[in-house]
Amino acid sequence: MGFGFSFAYAHTTIQVDPYEIEVGWQDEPPVVGILNAITIDIREPGDVEGVSTGITNGFKNWRHLLFQVGPPKY
Helix (H) or strand (E) holding 15: strand 12-16
| In the predicted structure, residue 64 carries a pLDDT above the cut 80 | no
Q: Tell me, what's the pLDDT at 65?
A: 59
Report the amino acid identity of residue 21. Answer: I
Q: Tell me, what's the pLDDT at 16?
A: 87
Angle, CA 40 vertex, CA 69 and CA 6 arms, to 5°: 65
The full DSSP string for 10-45 is --EEEEETTEEEEEEESSSS--TTS---EEEEEEEE
Q: Tell me, what's the pLDDT at 41?
A: 85
pTM of the model: 0.58
